[in-house]
A and B are shown apart, each in its own frame.
Chain A
């Protein structure tokens, strides 16, 4: 199946800093989502971005589908940004449209 690799695995930031999280995937995709899992375990949708660039407040994301990677940018980080960020993809296959494959996540800690 498709491989999803996220880097870095861990990230410690000072409040106010900017950062970039990366997601590499091994096959063509028709769905790519970024999630933030908060300390209570809830998966919060950040972006649905199989291609192109989107921005939402201090967060933005870019997916270059032809080169099989996506980037999540966090600007002016805040302590509430702490948590695990997951990238998840679905491949362009006919046998399973539904399955979303997750990466291992990037654990982000923002310190005051």
Chain B
């Protein structure tokens, strides 16, 4: 597609429920990133995929958070047993490549985010 697409744009759920957030990256981009942004703060890194594999998942806060990218394109962020502290905007980004020295291949482009509210 023309840009990074995220669904849903808004999700309200109850504490303890399971949530899935979807990201469709820019066509041809091999690298995909998930970030989380709380009110008044900058985006915080969660996980980065190069192709189908998670190259760096060091930002996932705990084992309730999991992400997959089975075919190297669309990714799903999964949150189990949601807690009120999980409320935030979840941002997805993609880049042509995740590494390399070619100009602009590492430039990230962000989607509009999925706003998660846990009641």
B-side contacts of A42, CB under 8 Å? 110, 112-113
> For the complex, is A39 an interface residue (Cβ under 8 Å from B)?
no
Choose from B42, B104, B109, B113 the contact partner of A102 (Cβ within 8 Å).
Answer: B42
Contact call A98/B42, Cβ cutoff below 8 A = no
Q: How far is the CA of A31 from the CA of B107 in the complex (A)?
A: 8
Query: In residues 26-53 of chain A, which contact B (Cβ within 8 Å)?
Result: 30-31, 33, 35, 40-43, 45, 48
Q: Which residue of B lies closest to A105 (CB)?
A: B42
Q: How far is the CA of A100 from the CA of B113 in the complex (A)?
A: 17
Say whether B108 faces chain A, with CB atoms less than 8 Å apart.
yes
Q: How far is the CB of B3 from the nearest CB of chain A, in Å?
A: 10
Let me know if B101 and A30 touch, CB within 8 A: yes
| Cβ-based interface call for B16 (8 A) | no
From B37, B44, B48, contact of A98 by CB (8 A) = B48
Is A99 a contact partner of B106 (Cβ separation < 8 A)?
no
- Kindly state the interface size class of chain A when it binds its partner: 20 to 34
B: contact size bracket: 20 to 34
For residue B98, which residue of chain A has the nearest CB? A98
* Least distance between A108 CB and chain B CB atoms (Å): 15
Task: Find B55's partner among A90, A96, A100 (CB 8 Å cutoff).
Answer: A96
Contact A97 B98 (CB under 8 A): yes
Residue with the highest number of chain A CB atoms closer than 10 Å, among B44, B45, B113: B45
CB < 8 Å: which of A30, A41, A96 contacts B48? Answer: A96
Interface residue A101 (Cβ < 8 Å from any Cβ of B): yes
Could you list some 10 contacts between A and B, CB below 8 A? A30-B101, A33-B108, A35-B110, A45-B107, A45-B108, A90-B106, A96-B58, A97-B100, A99-B56, A104-B42
- Chain A residues packing against B (C-beta within 8 Å): 30-31, 33, 35, 40-43, 45, 48, 86, 88, 90, 95-105
Q: What 11 new A-B contacts, CB under 8 Å, besides A35-B110, A88-B108, A100-B33?
A: A31-B106, A40-B112, A41-B89, A41-B112, A45-B107, A45-B108, A45-B110, A48-B107, A98-B33, A98-B98, A103-B42
